[in-house]
């Protein structure tokens, strides 16, 4: 008897676990959007941040540290590729959320090329929604 066994290789991002996707390379923020009411338009205020902050790298490490690193355009007093800060991160709620320095975000997208995370805050009855998009 002769048997043939085949397997179909799926999308690599489907086969990778979330920690590997998050920690494989550094990320930069592409959008930082704010929506102040559920019916209000979402406003991306990231383009208004100083250029020296917009190119900073976020490096998630498997030891649950998150390094914030100056990139090629350093802010005043810093050097290119200088570590600015190290904070903590961890997955929460069965890896559906991520806790970054004790601020919990819902994970909308996490794949090889992007991360989109969301959080909402109710301040004095006004619900504000934040949506951050990261790329490589």
pLDDT tens string, the chain, 136 residues long: the values are: 343 333 334 444 444 699 999 999 999 999 999 998 888 999 999 999 999 999 999 999 999 999 999 988 999 889 999 999 999 999 999 999 999 999 999 999 999 999 999 999 998 888 899 999 999 9
In a domain, 15, yes or no: no
The per-residue pLDDT for 126 is 87
Q: How far apart are CA 4 and CA 135, in angstroms?
A: 41
Q: How far apart are CA 74 and CA 52, in angstroms?
A: 5
In a domain, 111, yes or no: yes
Side-chain-side CA neighbours of 118 within 13 Å: the count stands at: 11
Question: Dihedrals φ, ψ of 21, to 5°?
Answer: -60, -45
The per-residue pLDDT for 27 is 98
Number of domains forming the structure of the chain: 1
**Residue given tokens 């810093």 in the structure block:** 78
The per-residue pLDDT for 16 is 61
The per-residue pLDDT for 39 is 86
Q: How far apart are CA 6 and CA 125, in angstroms?
A: 57
Give the range of the structural domain holding residue 98, as residue numbers without chain letter: 26-135
| Cβ neighbour number for residue 8 with a 10 Å cutoff | 4
In a domain, 6, yes or no: no
Q: DSSP secondary-structure letter at 102? A: T
The per-residue pLDDT for 63 is 97
The whole-model pTM stands at: 0.84
Strand 83-92 with 65-69, pairing: antiparallel
Task: Indicate which CATH number applies to the domain containing 57.
Answer: 2.40.128
């Amino acid at each position: 008897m002769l048997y043939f066994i085949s397997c179909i290789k799926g999308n690599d991002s489907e086969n990778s676990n979330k920690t590997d996707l998050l920690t494989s390379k550094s990320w930069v923020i592409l959008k930082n959007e704010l929506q102040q009411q559920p019916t209000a338009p979402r406003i991306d205020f990231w383009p208004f941040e100083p250029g020296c902050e917009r190119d900073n790298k976020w490096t998630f490490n498997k030891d649950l540290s998150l390094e914030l690193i100056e990139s090629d355009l350093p802010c005043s007093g810093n050097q290119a590729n200088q570590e600015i800060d190290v904070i903590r991160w961890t997955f929460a709620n069965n890896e559906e959320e991520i806790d970054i320095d004790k601020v919990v975000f819902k994970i909308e997208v996490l794949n090889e090329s992007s991360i989109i995370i969301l959080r909402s805050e109710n301040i004095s009855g006004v619900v504000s929604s934040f949506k951050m998009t990261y790329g490589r």
